[in-house]
Amino acid sequence: MGIDRRGLIAVVENAPFQNEYRPMLENVRLRLRPQIFPLIHSIYVYGSVASGRAISGCSDLDLSLVLRNPPSNRASIVIEEIRQEIEAAYPIASKVDFDIGVLQDILSAETGVAWRYWLKHHCRCIAGDDLAEGIPLFRPSRTLALAVNGDFEQVLQRYQSRLAIAQPEAVVRRLVKEAARKLIRSTNVLRKETDPDWPETLEEYLTRFQRLFPAHGDRLLYFYEQAFTPDAALEDFSRRLQAFSGWMARIVGENAQWP
């Protein structure tokens, strides 16, 4: 499950991008490349487009932008305008997401672990200097899982707050889908430091959780279903999300001293 023969976490394969997504990626690269947008250090694609499993009209285009410095208000507005224009011009992607980080934070020994893991194992550089080249491969560990998803309770609470606001049905369905996926991936924090596996797909996260917590397997199965077909009643989904997040936070706290 996401592990190579040396016991290190696998990286996304550097295979050719799907033909139908190449014009969109080239547009991103040309409009945001560091040569004309000096604030940007490098651009990375991740998710289904990076792995070659994207479905036309259904999959998002997920991008990480590494900035040399924190953006000014004006720079943030320009970046968002470009994101919206690309999203409107290429309906092949259901949505375009920019995940933005700042170079000094990524390089920080204390705070940059999650970003360095993400760039090394999940991202493919399409413009700028590839930071992943200087990052060593990671091994599975509880420490890494907490660095990547230890903020799950706060993130899921933000989803709860957004879902509490009246919004178009399509937006609600997207938020439900995103929240369900975040919760499923966050179950990786329920591990011991020496566990050798590292789930990659949502199905692998579900299988791993059901093996460790069989009495709660159906609870996570509910979110797995919503991650693909977000059709639950909003009130029921929010109630279950809050309950599961709280339960998981208690488990993490109780096992804080796992060897």
What is the identity of the amino acid at 77? I
State the virtual CA torsion across 40, 65, 55, 205 in degrees, nearest 10.
160
Q: Which residues of the chain have pLDDT under 70?
A: 1, 256-259
213-230 pLDDT, tens digit per residue, is 999 999 999 999 999 999
Per-residue model confidence (pLDDT) at position 257: 52
pLDDT for residue 111: 85
Asked whether 219 and 180 are in contact (CB, 8 A), the reply is no
pLDDT digits (tens, 9 = 90+) for 34-44: 998 999 999 99
Q: Residue type for 252, please?
A: V
Single pTM value for the model = 0.90
* Contact by Cβ (8 Å): 64, 44: yes
**Model pLDDT, residue 259:** 43
d(CA 153, CA 141): 20
Residue extents of the structural domains in the chain: 19-138, 143-254
CATH no. of 19-138: 3.30.460.10
CB 197 within 8 A of CB 218: no
> Which tokens sit at 16?
């050719």
The whole-number pLDDT of residue 8 equals 96
